[in-house]
Amino acid sequence: MSLVNTAARRLLLQARNVLPAFGAGVRNASELTNLKDVLANQIPEKQTEIKEFRKECGAKVIGEIQVDMLYGGMRGMKGLVTETSVLDPDEGIRFRGYSIPECQELLPKAPGGSEPLPEGLFWLLVTGDIPSDAQVQAISKEWNERAAVPPHVVQMLNNFPSSLHPMSQFSAAISAMNSESKFAEAYAQGVHKSTYWEHTYEDAMNLIAKLPTVAAIIYRNLYRDSSVCPIDMNLDWSGNFAQMLGYDDPMFSELMRLYLTIHSDHEGGNVSAHTVHLVGSALSDPYLSFAAGMNGLAGPLHGLANQEVLVWLTKLQEKLGGAVSDAEMKEFIWNTLQGGQVVPGYGHAVLRKTDPRYECQRQFALKHLPDDPMFQLVSQIYKLVPDILLEQGKAKNPWPNVDAHSGVLLQYYKMTEMNYYTVLFGVSRALGTLASLIWDRAFGLPLERPKSMSTEGLKKLVGR
Ligand code: CMX
């Protein structure tokens, strides 16, 4: 980003009271470019804040638990603390208080680019602050330096049969990389628990750095000639990922920057984030914790829905051909529902409006691929599905989620291998879940162990 743009962004942040004014005499965090130093400064203050808050308010009641919640997937039950993002049912996600459009506006961009760099989002998720260009460049550099994948993992990936789903390969490779875990090594050496966050931080940075290469090896082994180009030290994380996948179109790199930013975090209760937190609470190292989360992301009601959407759209096109009338499409949607299946990409456990992650991908499509037939199909579906789901009267949220749109953008840039799409989601989800895991260790959060009940015990409890 040019100096002019940097100054303009700084003024914007000052206007929003995000940054102190120049010359305010504060040696603020924006002057430090090493994320670990920034964290080391922040952690003691946050630890004190939480200690005092718990001392003062630890016994306050914040909600009620109803019997239905125990059978209903704990919907609406407040049971976790996650600092990185908060999901509002109507407004959608805010990363450390910033909406997606705000992140698009405020986070640093690649030279000549207009989408945010995920490195900047990671900085924001970890620290709560919008980073400077220098801070984001420092992260890109660090991730490039940490990107090497251990040879035994490369060999393992090369030996997998092509019939093994990309998500299974991804999860297995992440687990096998725990041979590199600094946390596991330090724990075995008996380090003091107050230092756990530092080793978790090292693992998080290493793991995030390695994920694009792991994901690219899987892609190139399954769908191309198995060769993966080396990391370019001058490129950002997404730019390198696009190159390693084999996509030279600069717009594909821009799409990756947006994609990897918006899929990163969705507060703490979703299956992947919650799993990483849960498994991490046993002090399983970050590699094992994140791999567990990826096994959850691989479920069709969660991240695999992005694959399912494209499978469903392909079936629709096979059955009905190119131009589809609204009446034909309605019938196809009703047939899906009457067959006892879900319409993939629609509905959400928390959201009650169109997902802003859907909306920003739609804006990207309107800007870059307005005439693409598949985009037009997705837009036509958007007009029809909500009314049908409302008429059916089951889904609490008839609106599209993030997964309804992502595949269409990927198809346009010639990534047609839909079984692979959830791996991209997984690479991005590392940013939010690992940022949270660092704070879990900094706060010394204990083993997660909610109380479960039998139906008999529950009946007795409510006097029945
Ligand atoms: N199509 C058909 N039926 C749907 C539906 C959809 N898109 N969304 C919800 N329903 C149904 C549910 O299956 C449920 O039916 P039963 O009562 O027969 O069990 C009923 O409506 C009530 O469900 P809900 O309370 O509205 O939704 P949940 O919180 O239980 O589930 C979700 C949320 C996302 C799993 C669900 O909306 C769904 O299955 N959507 C399709 C899959 C999908 O797109 N998943 C991706 C979510 C985003 C992500 O994590 O990546």
Distance CA(131)–CA(119), nearest Å, equals 9
What proportion of the chain, given as a percentage, has pLDDT over 90? 93
More confident residue, 413 or 20: 413
- Give the pLDDT mean for 247-254: 98
Contact between residue 26 and residue 41 where contact means Cβ atoms under 8 Å apart: no
Residue 440 a catalytic site member: no
Q: Residue 447, exposed/middle/buried by CB under 10 A (0-12, 13-18, 19+)?
A: exposed
- How many CA atoms are closer than 13 Å to the CA of 215, on its beta-carbon side? 28
How many angstroms is it from 349 CA to the middle of ligand 1? 7
Q: Whose CA is nearest to atom 30 of ligand 1?
A: 349
- Give the pLDDT mean for 189-212: 98
Short-list 125, 70, 69, CA closest to 97? 125
DSSP codes of every residue in 4-71: HHHHHHHHHHHHTTSSPPTTSS---GGG---HHHHHHHHHHHHHHHHHHHHHHHTT-------HHHHH
pLDDT band at 139 (very low <50, low <70, confident <90, very high): very high
Q: Is the pLDDT of residue 27 over 60?
A: no
How many angstroms is it from 12 CA to the middle of ligand 1? 40
User: Under the phi-then-psi rule, with left for phi > 0, alpha for psi from -120 to 50, and beta for the rest, what region is 400?
Assistant: beta
- Give the pLDDT mean for 342-359: 98
Q: Residue 108, exposed/middle/buried by CB under 10 A (0-12, 13-18, 19+)?
A: buried
- Give the pLDDT mean for 359-372: 98
Q: Is the pLDDT of residue 337 over 50?
A: yes
Q: Is the pLDDT of residue 239 over 90?
A: yes
Distance CA(436)–CA(426), nearest Å, equals 15
Phi first, then psi, for residue 224 (nearest 5°) are -130, -150
Phi first, then psi, for residue 446 (nearest 5°) are -85, 175
Which atom of ligand 1 lies at the shortest distance from residue 346's CA? Answer: 7
Q: Which residues pair with 85 in a beta bridge?
A: 95
How many angstroms is it from 348 CA to the middle of ligand 1? 6
Kindly report, residue by residue over 57-104, the tens digit of the pLDDT. Answer: 999 999 999 999 999 999 999 999 999 999 999 999 999 999 999 999
SS3 109: strand
How many angstroms is it from 91 CA to the middle of ligand 1? 19
CATH class of the domain at 307-412: mainly alpha
Q: Among 348, 399, 428, which residue has the most ligand 1 atoms within 8 Å of its CB, making it the best to mutate?
A: 348
Q: Is the pLDDT of residue 226 over 50?
A: yes
Return the CA Rg of the chain: 23
Residues touching ligand 1 (Cβ under 6 Å) are 270, 301-303, 305, 337, 342-349, 394-397, 401-403
Q: Which residues pair with 109 in a beta bridge?
A: 116
Q: Is the pLDDT of residue 22 over 90?
A: no
pTM: 0.94
Which atom of ligand 1 lies at the shortest distance from residue 403's CA? Answer: 51
Distance CA(122)–CA(430), nearest Å, equals 9
Q: Is the pLDDT of residue 134 over 50?
A: yes
Considering the candidates 348, 355, 405, 440, report the single residue annotated as catalytic.
348
CB atoms within 10 A of CB 290: 31
Domain borders along the chain are 307-412
Phi first, then psi, for residue 116 (nearest 5°) are -70, 150
pLDDT at res. 210:
99
How many angstroms is it from 79 CA to the middle of ligand 1? 22
Kindly report, residue by residue over 302-311, the tens digit of the pLDDT. Answer: 999 999 999 9
pLDDT at res. 28:
56
Q: Residue 120, exposed/middle/buried by CB under 10 A (0-12, 13-18, 19+)?
A: buried
For the chain, the straight-line distance linking the first and the last C-alpha, in angstroms and rounded, comes to 66
Distance CA(125)–CA(144), nearest Å, equals 20
Short-list 287, 238, 271, CA closest to 122? 238
pLDDT band at 31 (very low <50, low <70, confident <90, very high): confident
pLDDT at res. 323:
87
Q: Which residues pair with 98 in a beta bridge?
A: 95
- Written as six digits, the tokens of 173 are 């490779």
Residue 88 a catalytic site member: no
- Give the pLDDT mean for 273-281: 98
Residue 199 a catalytic site member: no
DSSP codes of every residue in 338-396: HTT---TTB--SS--S--HHHHHHHHHHHHH-TT-HHHHHHHHHHHHHHHHHHHHT--S
Q: Is the pLDDT of residue 17 over 50?
A: no
One-letter amino acid at 406 equals S
Short-list 287, 292, 256, CA closest to 273? 292
Q: Is the pLDDT of residue 220 over 70?
A: yes
Distance CA(383)–CA(364), nearest Å, equals 18
pLDDT at res. 263:
98
Task: Report the chain's mean pLDDT, rounded to a whole number.
Answer: 94
